[in-house]
């Protein structure tokens, strides 16, 4: 299944590894911050409604 990458295997595999890791990290950071800010805003909005 794995293609024969010959003498350039290190270059090709490291390119894919670096890129996929960076993309996954970017997605993870974006999703985590989105959830965190959403939860914090909900709390602040609730508090400000309570306090009028």
Partner 1 sequence: MASLWEYANPKKFIQTTDRLLPWLSVLAAITLVIGLIWGFFFTPDDFRQGSTVKIIYLHVPSALMAINAWLMMLVASLVWIVRRHHVSALAARAAAPVGAVMTVIALATGAIWGQPMWGTWWAWDPRLTSFLILFLFYLGYIALWAAIENDDTAADLTSVLCLVGSVFALLSRYAVNFWNQGLHQGASLSLDKEKNVADVFYHPLLFCIAGFVLLFVALVFLRTQTEIRARRMRALLARERLG
Please give the residues from 1 up to 52 whose contact with partner 1 meets the rule CB under 8 A.
1, 3-9, 11-12, 14-16, 18-19, 22-23, 26-27, 30-31, 33-34, 37-38, 40-41, 44-45, 47-48, 51
**Residue whose entry in the numeric block shows the structure tokens 């996954």:** 24
Separation of alpha carbons 46 and 50, rounded Å? 6
Give exposure, 17-32, as e/b (b: 16+ Cβ within 10 Å). Answer: eeeeeeeeeeeeeeee
Interface residue list for partner 1 (CB under 8 A): 1, 3-9, 11-12, 14-16, 18-19, 22-23, 26-27, 30-31, 33-34, 37-38, 40-41, 44-45, 47-48, 51
């Amino acid at each position: 299944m794995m293609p024969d990458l010959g003498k350039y295997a290190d270059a090709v595999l490291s390119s894919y590894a670096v890129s996929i890791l960076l993309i996954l990290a970017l997605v993870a950071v974006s999703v985590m911050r989105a959830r965190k800010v959403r939860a914090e805003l909900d709390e602040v909005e609730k508090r400000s409604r309570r306090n009028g």
